[in-house]
Chains A and B, each alone.
Chain A
C-alpha cells in the first residue's frame, strides 16, 4: 500500500503545482472605460495608446507578480450613462483588479459610486473636474484616486501667472455645458476671487454645437482682455475655424488645447498671445519625458498629447501599486495606492493627499511666434 499511497500523493501534489502554476500564469486584467467613439474619440484613442504602452513596457520587463498585465477597453462615448453601463458590466465579470480612467469628467463622476459599492480601485488619469477629488478620500469615496491635477489647482496656477503679467483682469469664459466646462468656470471664478477679481462674462454652449458665430460675435463685442475657452475635440476644431473667421483679436486662455490647433491657424500667428495651462506638454525637457515621447512615436507613428501622457503615467502608478501590494486583491491595491511615492516623468514625486489626489506640476504654455512654448511650471 505504501508505494500506492506515495504514488497517489505524488500525483496529487503535481496536479496541485500545475494548477497553481496555471493560476500564477493568468494575466492581471485592468478594466478601462474610455470614449472610443464619439466627439472625444481622438482623446480616447490616445488614452488607449498611452496605457497600452505602459502595459507593454511592464510586460517586457517581466510583468507584475510573475504575471502578464492586460487592459480591456469598453467604449463610454464620453457619456455618463454609457460609462455606468460599461463599468457595471466589468464589475459583474469579477475579473478586473482595478478600473481605469473614464476620461470625461461626467463619466468619471458617474463611475465613482459604482467602484465604491463594488470595492474596486478606480484610477483617474484625464478627467479634470475638481469634484472628483472633493468626493474622494477622507469622508468620501476611498476607492477613487486622481493622478492628474484638478481644474481648480491648474487654473489657480494659471491665474497666478496671468496676474503676475498684469493680464488677469477682464477674462471672458466660453465652455461646454458639461461637468468639464462647469468645473472650468468654477475653478476660474475661485482663482479670480482670491485676487479680488471676477470673470467679465460667462457663456456655455451645448456639447456638439456646430455654430459658434453668434456667441463669438457677442464675446468680441464685450472686448475682454482674454477669452478662456473650454472646448475639446470636434467642438474645439469647429470653434478654432470659426474664431479665425471671426477675426479673433482676443488672446485665448484657460485649458486651450494648444497642441491641437490646426497647423494653418497656428503658423499664421493668429493665436499669438495665448496662455494655457495643461498638466503636460510633449516638449517638457526631462529624460523620462523624452524617453516616453520617443517610445510613443516609435510605437504609434504619432506624437503623444496630454491625454496619452496622463494615461501612460497613471497606468504606471497603478502597476507600481500592484507590485507593492504583492497581491491582486482590490483592497490591497487600494492600500498600496494610498502609500504611493512614484517618481513622475515630469520630475516630481507623485503621492496622494488625504483626498486621494496627486499634486503634479501644471505646465504654463504659450503660443508665441506661431509656436507652442513652455512658459513655466507651477506646483498644484
Chain B
C-alpha cells in the first residue's frame, strides 16, 4: 500500500472525525447535564450553516466575523430554547423529552424548507479553492480551518468543564442534581448554561462547515444520526468520550473507505453502535456523569 495514500486517508479521517466531534460534543453535554437527548440538534447545526450562508452571501461578512456572529447567535438561541422549552422538561420522563425534541426537529426542518426551500446553497469565500499540501497529501484549506476550530472548541470546553467553577458545577449537577442543590449549586442555571454551550457548539459547527458542504434544510439529518451513534459509543453524557469516539470513527471510516464499498462504510458507525450496546452498554469510556 502506497504510504502517501495511507497518509491521505488518515488526514481525511482526522478532519472528518473532528467534524463529527464538533456536532457530537454539544449533544453529549446536553445529555450529561439535563439527561435529555436533543433530537433537534442537527437542525441547530443546519440553522448555523444557513445563518453563515446569508451572513457571507447577503450581508458580505468575512469568514471569521461570520463564525463569531453565528456562534453568538447560536448561544442566544440556546438560551431561548432552554427557557421556552427544555426547562419545562426537567424531572419529567425520558419519553417526553424525546417526543418534544423530535417535534421541535420537525418544526425547525420544515420551517427551514418553507423559508429557504430545499435548493442547496454553495457558500463561496476567498479560500473556497485553496488547498494545503502535507507530505504529499492534499486537503482543502477550509477543512483545515474547520479542524482547527473543532480542536479549539474541544479545548475550550474541556478547560471550562475541568478548570472553572461553573464547569465543576455542571459536573456536580450531572452526578447528582439534588446533592448539587444541597451544596448551593443552582441546577436550573447550570442546565441553562449547558444548553447554551451545547447549542452554541452546534451553531459553530454549522458556520465552520457551511463553506465546506452544500447548505440545505436537510443537511443536519445525516450528521446527527452519526452523532447519536458516537455519543452512545463514547458513553452517554461523556463529552471527552464523544470526542474520542468521533475521531476514531472518522479515521476508521476513512481508512475502511479506502478499501471497501461506500455502502459498507456508511453502515460502520451504526454497526459499531450496536456492538457497543450489546457488549458494553455504558459506552467505551463509561457513562458520563463524566462531562
B57 within 8 A of A: no
**Inside 8 A of B113's CB, which chain A residues have their CB?**
37
A233–B121 Cα distance when bound, in Å, is 11
B164 within 8 A of A: no
**Inside 8 A of A208's CB, which chain B residues have their CB?**
218, 222
**Inside 8 A of A246's CB, which chain B residues have their CB?**
138
Contact with B along A188-230 (1 / 0, CB 8 A): 0000000000000001111011110111011011000000000
A217 x B263 contact (CB < 8 A): no
Given contacts A215-B262, A241-B128, contact A37 B213 (CB under 8 A): no
A261 to chain B, nearest CB (A): 12
A37–B118 Cα distance when bound, in Å, is 5
**Inside 8 A of B128's CB, which chain A residues have their CB?**
241, 264
Q: Contact check: which of B118, B140, B259 meets A39 at CB < 8 Å? A: B118
A85–B227 Cα distance when bound, in Å, is 33
Across the interface, name the chain A residue whose C-beta is closest to B223: A210
B120 x A213 contact (CB < 8 A): no
A115–B140 Cα distance when bound, in Å, is 48
Contact with A along B138-159 (1 / 0, CB 8 A): 1110010000000000000000
A118 within 8 A of B: no
A41 x B222 contact (CB < 8 A): no
Majority-rule SS of A interface residues? helix
A221–B129 Cα distance when bound, in Å, is 22
A218 x B219 contact (CB < 8 A): no
B122 x A245 contact (CB < 8 A): no
Given contacts A221-B5, A233-B120, A245-B139, contact A206 B214 (CB under 8 A): no
B261 within 8 A of A: yes
A38–B258 Cα distance when bound, in Å, is 30
**Inside 8 A of B216's CB, which chain A residues have their CB?**
39, 234
B260 to chain A, nearest CB (A): 9
Contact with B along A258-275 (1 / 0, CB 8 A): 000000110010000000
B117 within 8 A of A: yes
B222 x A214 contact (CB < 8 A): no
**Inside 8 A of B266's CB, which chain A residues have their CB?**
206
A177 within 8 A of B: yes
A234 x B258 contact (CB < 8 A): no
**Inside 8 A of B2's CB, which chain A residues have their CB?**
221
Binds A, one of B8-16, B186-194, B241-249: B8-16
Q: Contact check: which of A38, A39, A204, A233 meets B262 at CB < 8 Å? A: A204
B29 to chain A, nearest CB (A): 24
A181 to chain B, nearest CB (A): 12
Q: How large is the interface on A (under 10, 10 to 19, 20 to 34, 35 or more residues)?
A: 35 or more
**Inside 8 A of A268's CB, which chain B residues have their CB?**
129
A170 within 8 A of B: no
Q: Contact check: which of B12, B139, B219, B258 meets A221 at CB < 8 Å? A: B258
**Inside 8 A of A344's CB, which chain B residues have their CB?**
none
A211 x B214 contact (CB < 8 A): no
B119 within 8 A of A: yes
**Inside 8 A of A241's CB, which chain B residues have their CB?**
128-129, 140
B183 to chain A, nearest CB (A): 45
Across the interface, name the chain A residue whose C-beta is closest to B119: A41
A249 to chain B, nearest CB (A): 10
**Inside 8 A of B143's CB, which chain A residues have their CB?**
245
Across the interface, name the chain B residue whose C-beta is closest to A218: B258
Across the interface, name the chain A residue whose C-beta is closest to B257: A214
Given contacts A214-B253, A214-B257, A215-B257, contact A38 B9 (CB under 8 A): no
B254 within 8 A of A: yes
B176 within 8 A of A: no
B175 to chain A, nearest CB (A): 37
A237 x B118 contact (CB < 8 A): no
Contact with B along A275-318 (1 / 0, CB 8 A): 00000000000000000000000000000000000000000000
Q: Contact check: which of B5, B117, B258, B259 meets A37 at CB < 8 Å? A: B117
| A215-B262, A217-B12, A264-B129 given; 15 more Cβ-contact pairs under 8 Å | A39-B118, A41-B119, A204-B263, A206-B262, A206-B266, A209-B262, A210-B219, A214-B16, A214-B262, A217-B5, A218-B258, A241-B128, A245-B129, A245-B138, A247-B131
Q: What are 5 A-B pairs with beta-carbon distances under 8 A?
A: A204-B262, A204-B263, A214-B265, A218-B258, A237-B120
- The 7 A-B pairs at the shortest CB distance, nearest first, are namely A234-B120, A214-B257, A245-B140, A210-B213, A221-B5, A234-B214, A213-B12
Question: Which residues of B are at the interface with A, using a C-beta cutoff of 8 A?
Answer: 2, 5, 8-9, 12-13, 15-16, 113, 117-120, 122, 128-129, 131, 138-140, 143, 213-214, 216, 218-219, 222, 253-254, 257-259, 261-263, 265-266
Question: Which residues of A are at the interface with B, using a C-beta cutoff of 8 A?
Answer: 37-39, 41-42, 77, 177, 203-206, 208-211, 213-215, 217-218, 220-221, 233-234, 237-238, 241-242, 244-247, 264-265, 268
